[in-house]
Amino acid sequence: MSARPWIAPPSNRFCIGLLIAAQVCFVAFHLLPVYTDARGWELVERFVVLLTSRPLPSGRFMIASSSFLMVAILVTVSPFVTSLLRASRPCHLLAVGASGAALLGFGSLILDDFPNYPALWVLLAAMILNFIGLICLPAPRLEPGPDAP
């Protein structure tokens, strides 16, 4: 039996495939039009302008912008830290919880306020694929400790 550490187990390959598909959708979001005069990458610039303006935007916008930032970080980093997520249960649960919270926070805004923009549907697909990929990632197994005296 030869050990090939660079080849992931089959269940891990499926999860990594979902996480990479989420990255592809996230890149497609940046290239598609969000609305008539702006692409996805220009949405980030508008978030920064609105967040640095006075008075501060509404609470709903603050939830949406923090969820968008969390989605950007999670989708970008998740495929590269699968070994860490498989080794640490707290990291795995934190990533799944953050992905689910971002899906609820920003996904509900997309469904409520922007139903006709294809770029945002692709972003929603990226969030869903990332969440499913993180849930399907095998959680670390706790090893039994020594018997108590």
Cβ atoms of residues 84 and 91 within 8 Å = yes
Q: Which of 109, 99, 104 is nearest to 129 (CA)?
A: 99
- Does residue 30 lie within any of the structural domains? yes
pLDDT value for 147: 66
| Owning domain of residue 86 | 11-136
149 — pLDDT class (breaks 50, 70, 90):
low
pLDDT value for 4: 53
CA distance readout (Å), 12 to 8, 62, 83, 99 = 6, 35, 10, 18
- Does residue 36 lie within any of the structural domains? yes
Q: How many domains does the chain have?
A: 1
pLDDT value for 87: 83
- Does residue 32 lie within any of the structural domains? yes
- Does residue 148 lie within any of the structural domains? no
* The model's pTM: 0.80
- Does residue 3 lie within any of the structural domains? no
- Does residue 143 lie within any of the structural domains? no
- Does residue 42 lie within any of the structural domains? yes
- Does residue 80 lie within any of the structural domains? yes
Could you report the per-residue pLDDT of 2-13, keeping only the tens digit for each? 555 555 555 678
